[in-house]
Structure 1
Amino acid sequence: MDTMIELPAMRRTAELAPNSADAQARTVEVVWSAGARVRRASFFGEPYDEELSLDPTHVRLERLNAGAPFLKVHELGALDAVIGSVVPGSARLENGRGIALVRISERDDVEPIWRDIQAGHIRAVSIGYQVHRFEVSKPDGGRELWRAVDWTPFEVSAVPVGADPAAGFRAQQSLHDCVLHRRDASTIRQGASPMTDPTQTPAAAAAEPHATEETQMTNPTNPAAEPQARAVETRALPQAAPVTPPDTEAIATRAREGERDRVSTIYDLAGRLNLERGFAEDLVKRGVTVDESRRLILDQVAARSDETRTFPHVSIPLGGRDERVTRRAAVANALLHRFSPTLFPLEDAARQYRGMSLLELARESLTNAGVNTRGLSRDEVATRSLHSTSDFPEILSAVTNKTLRQAYETYPRTFMLFCRQVLATDFKAMNRVQLGEAPQLLEVGESGEFKRGTLGESKESYKVKTYGRVVAITRQTLINDDLDAFTRIPAMYGNSIAQLESDVVWGIITANPAMADGNALFHTTHKNLAGTGTALAVDAVGAARAAMALQTGFDKKTVLNVRPAFLIVPAALELKAEQLVAQNLVPADTTKVVPQSIRTLSPISEPRLDAASATAWYLAASPNQIDTIEYAYLEGQQGAYIETRNGFDVDGVEIKCRLDFGAKAIDWRGLYKNPGA
């Protein structure tokens, strides 16, 4: 009888022969299998024996002979774990053993490993293999024997201790199909013993039972929770010369094997179910039987499951998302596409919803949540979709968030070019230190002493403030299929928030507030305000540049040489500024040539400046050179933030829009103002 099951890739220890190392060719020979029988622990069943057939027709050597990787401890997820490869065509079956030649990489980080292999310090290797077909039999009075008659070795790994079952293979492994072919006891008695590989020579068959191999199976569902002891060493006695030990020794041997089976089974089950290791250790120490341990482990899993909230009507396909999440995203995309086909292209998953009205989408959400909508009026559908366990409010929330964010990010905020952004951890006042010049270096004579210096500084303080508004969208909106309420209104909020940020920052420029020293931001004392206003021209800009370059530190003597990067003008002077910094003008009169230093300025036109003065213009340095104006968001709430909830005061959905924002001029030396003609 054949049965199809799914198995992960498995491991077995093998042997590396350091005496076969060739220093010139950087090769060494490995015995990757001797076909010995090993003990395996099933998930919820009795342990079974596994035997790898070394019949040439049973072993697929293609992957080894194609140059399979030689890894460090089965690390499948990192390129630097590859320390060599199997020499193509060297894998073979010889005298009942699997043999291959491995060539070691010439990378610098692999050189210490190669030296340890040559010195004989690294002798243990392990192979990874997949079994495609087992022949399962159960001799009278014995445990099941799973004999691999179709299997593929696919990688070889160097391991520190071959017999250490705690060597962890933490990479998630996929499952592969394996056929179990079961044979009854009568077939076993009539035919040849499945314990013997018919292809082995007599010498190999006699030596085979004494070979031992350690095994380790990874948990495909939870690779990070593997037990510390999984492998059981077994020794099979030759059938040709059975040995009859004394009764006391046989009893002791069976007792030891039984205890090893009990311990490994308990650790295996607890690890696969991701239980704490301490729970398994307690069962082992108390001597609890395997059957009783299974019951206690299931009770522990059930108790832990009761503590975890579960959600009905949820299907999570392998490799994908929760289908409810996928559906919500598709419906939201269909609504956003109706709002703006250019900004939000229609996705394939959303095509089935593009022609549905808001009320039809609300009815489908109720149906998916298990609510019977047959016979419900339009008003009842709208009310229940907004006040039930359906995901319709979440869909509306996703639509409003995306439209608001899109509008907020596309609104032009010109201040971001010359201002510095920071994050505030709370709403308390933030003190910003205005750093002065570094102390000048002094000559140090022979055997002289380095003198200490201090930084000049001045403090500016400001804090983040909260701005917000709430708007309600009623159930009438759904009934009327008014999509604009969920798209246009949030988009308007997005623009409004961006405008508020610009109002706060540019308000600092136009209001000219006082700094910590008591003087206004633009003041003759700060040497950043022209005494006489002049029209925007080359000479005036040159004088402003010179004034910024001559700014000094707090010691009043260290020249900072501040270089402007931006020319800031009101909308009335936008064309004049663009003409001034144009790169492609070659005047015939050399007296009208615009210097390169001015043409490198980036023009910024801001209409908020016109309300204060249509003639004043400014220069600003890059915030990377010196502080100018700093603006801050609350940490974790950068930019516009929107929340939705089922209405309490109104019968519908309430949308709350919030902004946590603040700004302050930190240093006047990076700014310059000319009042204009």
Structure 2
Amino acid sequence: MTVNVLDVLPEVATMRAQDASVESIYGGEGRSLSAAARRRRQQENAAYQRHLVEAAQLYAQVINGNRRAALDFQEAMTTSDFQLLFGDVLDRQILAHYQSMPVQWDSVARRGRVRDFRSVKRYTLDGGEAILDEVKQQGEYKAAKLTDGKYEYAVTKRGRRIPLSWETLINDDLDAFADIPRRLGNAARRSEERFWTTLYATATGPASAFFNAGNRNLIAQATYASLPDNPDLAVDGLQYAFEVLGRQVDTDGAPIYVEGAVLVVPPALEVPARNILNATEIVTAAGSSGSASDAGRTDQLRVANWMANRTRLVVNPWLPIVDTTTGNTAWYLFANPGVAPAMEMGFLIGHESPELFQKTPNAVRVGGGPIDPTDGDFETDSVEWKLRHVWGGTLMDPKSAVASKGTNSA
């Protein structure tokens, strides 16, 4: 019977096999577990797959408290082949936890790939799409004016070390291994989500350099005289946001077509947001413009909730943590990033997922013989892991986003 390694451990089952990798974590100064070329060769190797299943099964027995399995595990760790296999088991679990946490930033930001740590530039062209001019007989064709924009950012390296003492490993019968992938995987995903939030939110509210009257993407009277100042999240407030997004034009004064949008709110606004988007009808005054002249009208319109079909909801729990002033009231509407991205998150090519390393033991056993990596280093018997993750990002086109502080004031 063929056994799939992804069925052995529940925490591994959420990943695709091609996302896992195997590389020695005990050679040199610590080796990455994410070498793509070797991964492809190993995935095609039936014998390797079979041995990987056996290593994962043995590890699962150790975690479940099987003392005999723990002794077999300690003995097996003195062989180089098993060290490689166990490194792959740990790496698969880290990627499983990394991928199982909710991913929200890619609903709003475009995903980019960069080659190195130098600053990368993203260029845009605006203009040239205006209505064509009529050309008289033997008349000259008018030249279009193009406006170029440039956005720049660099990826940076982030990571963390987790040391465990030799005593901890012995006392826990290697249970300590079970918690390392979860903690490091969660740390990587949380770090991405917080970074994405800090691009468009600050401690005092929506990023003022991006959301302002000059960019015409803040719901306020300074943007359009007919608008209220920073309305709270309600049916009319969301309608104002669509109005602001729909009134954006390019440098030629031509409209920008936005078919879908993403509503980003803090947890405090999840209930009103879901109430708005899950409603089947919208009841509004007959004038339907939301202006003060409609406030006292008794005749009403009942319309299908058109906003539900055009809006995707994202609840971002990092907003009140990053924005300590309006984090519970501010809300945002972003254009579909696949069409008009307001920001980009970039990852280093070849290192686009978290990478796990283990520190190489620096001790030599008297009399010779292989060293168990869980014996730790020479000085302190410490066993140490490291997670490395590389990314960066930047805000891009302000015409693709709208914000309100939700304070009903300037």
SS in 1 for 2:398: coil
- The gaps in structure 2 that reach 5 residues or longer are 1-43, 221-228, 285-298, 363-376
SS in 1 for 2:251: coil
Q: Residues 647 and 470 of structure 1: is their aligned pair in 2 closer, same or farther, counting only changes over 3 Å?
A: farther
Q: Percent identity?
A: 26
What is aligned with 2:232? 535
1:498 aligns with 2:212: no
Q: Distance in 2 between matches of 1:663 and 1:337?
A: 42
Q: Distance in 1 between matches of 2:195 and 2:73?
A: 41
Q: Shift in Å at residue 581 of structure 1? A: 0.8
What is aligned with 1:605? 315
Q: Is the 8 A contact 2:343 2:397 kept in 1?
A: yes
Q: Is the 8 A contact 2:233 2:406 kept in 1?
A: yes
SS in 2 for 1:525: coil
Q: Give the partner amino acid of 2:277.
A: V
1:461 aligns with 2:185: no
Matches within 5 A, 1:167-206: none
Q: CA RMSD in A?
A: 3.2
1:644 aligns with 2:358: yes
SS in 2 for 1:539: helix
What is aligned with 2:37? none
Q: Give the partner amino acid of 2:146.
A: L
Q: Distance in 1 between matches of 2:318 and 2:135?
A: 54
Q: Distance in 1 between matches of 2:137 and 2:335?
A: 41
Q: Is the 8 A contact 1:566 1:619 kept in 2?
A: yes
Q: Residues 586 and 450 of structure 1: is their aligned pair in 2 closer, same or farther, counting only changes over 3 Å?
A: closer
> Which structure has the larger Rg over C-alpha atoms?
1
Q: Residues 495 and 653 of structure 1: is their aligned pair in 2 closer, same or farther, counting only changes over 3 Å?
A: same
Aligned to 1:360, which of 59, 72, 85? 72
Q: Shift in Å at residue 542 of structure 1? A: 1.4
Q: Residues 411 and 636 of structure 1: is their aligned pair in 2 closer, same or farther, counting only changes over 3 Å?
A: same
SS in 1 for 2:127: coil
Q: Distance in 2 between matches of 1:525 and 1:337?
A: 62
Q: Distance in 1 between matches of 2:108 and 2:392?
A: 16
SS in 1 for 2:356: strand
SS in 2 for 1:357: helix
Q: Is the 8 A contact 1:519 1:525 kept in 2?
A: no
Q: Shift in Å at residue 413 of structure 1? A: 2.3
Q: Is the 8 A contact 2:62 2:173 kept in 1?
A: no
Q: Is the 8 A contact 2:112 2:345 kept in 1?
A: yes
Q: Residues 451 and 334 of structure 1: is their aligned pair in 2 closer, same or farther, counting only changes over 3 Å?
A: farther
Q: Is the 8 A contact 1:551 1:562 kept in 2?
A: no
- The gaps in structure 1 that reach 5 residues or longer are 1-319, 341-352, 367-384
Aligned to 1:327, which of 23, 34, 51? 51
Q: Residues 603 and 610 of structure 1: is their aligned pair in 2 closer, same or farther, counting only changes over 3 Å?
A: same
TM-score for the superposition, normalised by structure 2: 0.69
Q: Distance in 2 between matches of 1:483 and 1:508?
A: 40
Q: Shift in Å at residue 408 of structure 1? A: 0.6
Q: Give the partner amino acid of 2:183.
A: M
Q: Distance in 2 between matches of 1:571 and 1:431?
A: 34
Q: Over residues 318-359 of structure 1, what are the superposed CA-to-partner deviations in whole Å (9 max), with x where a residue is unaligned?
A: xx947466324421244257759xxxxxxxxxxxx9874333
Q: Is the 8 A contact 1:422 1:630 kept in 2?
A: yes
Q: Shift in Å at residue 641 of structure 1? A: 1.2
What is aligned with 2:94? 404
Q: Give the partner amino acid of 1:671.
A: A
Q: Is the 8 A contact 1:550 1:561 kept in 2?
A: no
Aligned to 1:574, which of 270, 279, 293? 270
Q: Distance in 2 between matches of 1:576 and 1:523?
A: 25
Q: Residues 357 and 478 of structure 1: is their aligned pair in 2 closer, same or farther, counting only changes over 3 Å?
A: farther
Q: Is the 8 A contact 1:541 1:598 kept in 2?
A: no
Q: Over residues 407-465 of structure 1, what are the superposed CA-to-partner deviations in whole Å (9 max), with x where a residue is unaligned?
A: 11011121211211011100001111133233433345567765553532211111101
What is aligned with 1:480? 171
Q: Is the 8 A contact 2:123 2:151 kept in 1?
A: yes
Q: Distance in 2 between matches of 1:675 and 1:491?
A: 36
Q: Distance in 2 between matches of 1:323 and 1:585?
A: 60
Between structures 1 and 2, the one with greater strand share: 1
